[in-house]
Structures are given as C-alpha cells and as structure tokens.
Structure 1
C-alpha cells in the first residue's frame, strides 16, 4: 500500500469518536504510521504495532529527535489508546492518551474509512504535569519489524539512513548547498516547470538550486520528520514523498509537487 493512499491532507472538525479494530481490518501485527503535530509547531511521527488483546507497541520521534522513543500500551474499547514511555531506569516518564476520531464528511465522500485514520489527545509529562495536545493522521500501513522499518528497501541499519535524512534536511534548512549537492545520487531527474531536468553532477544542481529548492519546497522538507520514515522496495521517503533515499542514504528523487 502506498504511503499516500490513506493520508488525510486536511482534517475537518472532529466531533465523534470512531472504533478502530485492527483485527477486523486485517492489520494486526502490521505497522501503522501516523504523522501530525505535537502542539502547534512540532512535527511528530508515531509508529504503532497492534497485537492480540488490544496490546500496542510503538515508537515516536519529532523533527529534532536524535533517537526514537519506545512506547508500550493498549487499546481500550476499540477507540481509546494509552501509550507510556519510560526513562533509562524503567520508570514511566510520559504518556500519550488519545482517541480515534471520525473523519469529517468530506473525507468520507472521498471514500476514506473513519475507523483508524485520526488520533487526537494529550501528551503528558508525568513529572512536571505539563500537557501538550497532539493530532495525528494515518499515513501508511506496512508489514515489517518495528525496530527495522527500512529492511524492505535493502537498508541494513536504519540509523544510517536516519542520519543521512537528517543531514540532508538540515542542509536544506541551513542553506548548506554543498551538503545538499553531495547528498544526491547522480544523474537525477527533476521536474521543473513541466519539463524534466537531468542533473548530472553537483555543479548542475547548484546552477539550478534556487529554481528547485523554492520557499514552499523548503517548508515541506522542514515539516518532515527524518526518522520512522515509510519504506518500500524502491527506497525510503521523507515526509509525504517530498524526497526519496536509496539504501545507502543518497537522494534518488526530489518531488516538488
């Protein structure tokens, strides 16, 4: 299943809760990846692996994370989930508490199910008592291992790919054009103003850099979390397909639309 098939591009008002039963959708023991926001400006990625008895295993990261945070929890009454993260000593540190919400009428008219697509709730720091809202949308369902998401793309070590994606994203945001140019596997085809442009080396990229990396495209890359990314046999994608990487961590596609 493609990563974009189940993506809600825009969320409407959420007024009703929804039942999410992974066993009924034949996705038990599959990986469900959600993207969205923690608070107002913090992009968040959450991967859940449901199993029998309502048990949940998960990992999450934000755009600045240097590692993934592991979660364990459960799904109650097919609608409410509670996930707990622990500190290095094994003590509970924070929780995600939320509910699956029904999508709006517009989403239903597009043929989207309203069962497991949207989660909203609160992240709570158990020590300080601080609470931050989160809102997440299902972006992909795939098979695989939760501790080795990129295996299907031929990646031997997920962290190698995460570091490459992080470096590329930071290079784009910091306007480090040399870093960006060296991150690409050439030749690279790029669509520009309706025509296909073939970049054969770093020099050719730098000559067209401003045309390719527009303000809007840079914002799209900046909003993506360079961890817990969707993978398939063709590669690993950052965000909703804005950038694709090969198994070695080199950029193989820039999708600007």
Structure 2
C-alpha cells in the first residue's frame, strides 16, 4: 500500500510540473507548482529564491506588480494613450469567437471602446495582485480578459478576450 501511494503521489507531482500551472495567492506558504504562495514571503525573500511568475517568463515580481498598477491607473483615468503604450503589438484580441490582431498603438486607440469594454475594465480594476493566476501562457487578469507576459525586458498585455 505504501509503495502504491508513493507512485501515485510521484505521478501527481510530475503531472503538476508538466502543466506548469501556478497560482499566486496570499496567506499560504507553499511554493510548489499548482499550489498557493504567500506574497509576503515573496517580498521578504531574495528575488532569485522565489518568483511565482517565473513559469510565465516574468523575471521580476515587483516589476509585474508595478506594471499592473500602471495599467489599472491608466484605465481608471480612461487614458487611452497610456493604455495603448502598455500593450504588446501585434495584440491578439478575441471577441465572439473571432480573433483579430491589433498591429499598432494607433489601431488600438481607434478600436479602444471595442477592446476595452466595461467588462474588461471592471475585471482589470478589481484584480488584486495576490489573486493572480499564473501558468506557462502568462499572467491572467480577471477570468482571462487579459494575458500578460514579458518580452525582452518589457512586461505587457499580449492577448485579450473581450
């Protein structure tokens, strides 16, 4: 019985590692794939030791948090130009089963009201940093309304579901 339990547990751990899914939630102390992590622990630990966003390709948790704060602030102020500057182009926008690539800041601002819908804004503004979902695809805002990743040294939204 004991040997079977070890085999099952080993298979579960490997499965979790292969899916690459990690959630970064507060008030927990586990740092394994598929489990929760304390953001307080991240703040008090050297950057190289704990990075809950590593699986998403984000190098610096503080930089991600700063980016999300800037994005929330720009959206709250309805600053279209600032929001457009925080996107990665081409930006993939999925809406009603169709996908469209937004090629530039200018095109984004022209289509701002169709992309930055009230639902997208609501989810972004309600997003708490200690409630981010993270996997190998990136960092998810809301229920998948926005996906963020790092491109070189730049953190940006690369896909949206509106």
Matched residue, 2:148: 245
Q: Paired residues, what number?
A: 133
Task: Between the two structures, name the one with larger relative contact order (CA 8 Å, sep ≥ 6).
Answer: 2
Deviation at 1:150, TM superposition (A): 0.9
| Backbone CA RMSD of aligned residues | 3.1
In terms of mean alpha carbon deviation, does 220-229 or 151-160 score higher? 220-229
Q: Structure 1 residues 182, 227: CA separation in 2 closer, same or farther (over 3 Å shift)?
A: farther
Matched residue, 1:160: 63
Q: Which has the larger radius of gyration?
A: 1
Q: Distance in 2 between matches of 1:150 and 1:181?
A: 23
Q: Distance in 2 between matches of 1:240 and 1:146?
A: 29
8 A Cα contact 2:56 2:137, kept in partner: yes
Matched residue, 1:189: 92
- Whose strand fraction is larger, Structure 1's or Structure 2's? 1
Tell me the secondary structure at the aligned position of residue 89 of structure 2.
coil
The TM-score normalised by the length of structure 1 is: 0.44
Structure 1's unaligned 5+ residue stretches are 1-22, 35-45, 52-56, 60-67, 72-144
Match for residue 150 of structure 1 among 43, 47, 53: 53
Q: Structure 1 residues 160, 181: CA separation in 2 closer, same or farther (over 3 Å shift)?
A: same
Deviation at 1:211, TM superposition (A): 1.4
- Whose helix fraction is larger, Structure 1's or Structure 2's? 2
